[in-house]
Amino acid sequence: MGLTGGIGSGKSTVARLLAEAGAAVVDTDDLAREVTRRGTPTHRAVAERFGPGVVSPGGDLDRQALAELAFADAGALAELTALVHPAVAERLDAWLAALPAATRVAVVCVPLLVEAGWARRFDVVVVVDCPEAVAEHRLVEGRGMTPAEVRARMAAQATREERRAAADHVLDNRGPLADLRPQVAALWLTLAGEDGVPTSRPGGSGGG
């Protein structure tokens, strides 16, 4: 299952709920960190393309500087994607191949699934959706981002309409966690054939 959504939509929350239900879960952001570690070919390629300004004093990629550069320039984002995504795809294939045969649901969280043209890689695409104003509020209040930073990230991503058009299932996460849980439980029932999403945990925000 490919899991995606705009920044601040709640992808990580849905991924966590599915993991609690028994799904195997991986986030391509984590895979991207693995394939761009200092000393890897992808690290060298990114550093060579974007220069010393995206490399920390210790030699690691400065992800904040890289994000600011990429999300301010559509061309730079496309180049970064072209450098990193092939290595991520290779690492993802290895992760999938190593899953136990009994795994019923494998969830791959891909923030830029639509932008990268990855929808066809998955049997099912699930989109976590919420109004941009809700996502902006979560990111400003929860992550300390400025409204300008949030809007720049949103402008560089696919639109809500484009994501929804690629979806087999859409989860509405405009409200609290209590509203999201039953939607994830229903999704799990559809995918795995059982009701396994915990419902007794105390509530909280539906963001993430």
Which helix H or strand E contains 57, and what residues bound it?
none
- Per run of 10 residues, the mean pLDDT along the chain (length 208 residues) is 96 96 96 95 95 92 88 85 93 96 95 91 96 96 92 91 97 97 96 61 44
pLDDT of residue 204: 42
Looking up tokens 């550093």 gives: 47
What CATH homologous superfamily does 31-103 map to? Answer: P-loop containing nucleotide triphosphate hydrolases (3.40.50.300)
Residues 6+ apart with CB under 8 A from 153: 7, 71
What are the extents of the domains in the chain?
1-23+105-196, 31-103
Query: What is the side-by-side order of every strand in the sheet holding 106-109?
Result: 24-27, 106-109, 2-5, 125-129, 169-172
pLDDT of residue 47: 94
Q: What pTM value is reported for the model? A: 0.87
CATH number of this structure's domain 1-23+105-196: 3.40.50.300
pLDDT of residue 201: 35
pLDDT of residue 99: 96
pLDDT of residue 200: 35
pLDDT digit string, tens, across residues 38-48:
999 999 999 99
pLDDT digit string, tens, across residues 61-83:
998 899 888 888 888 888 998 99
63-71 and 74-97 helices cross at what angle (nearest 10)? 120
pLDDT of residue 101: 92
Residue ranges in 56-195 assigned as alpha helix (H): 63-71, 74-97, 132-143, 147-156, 160-165, 177-192
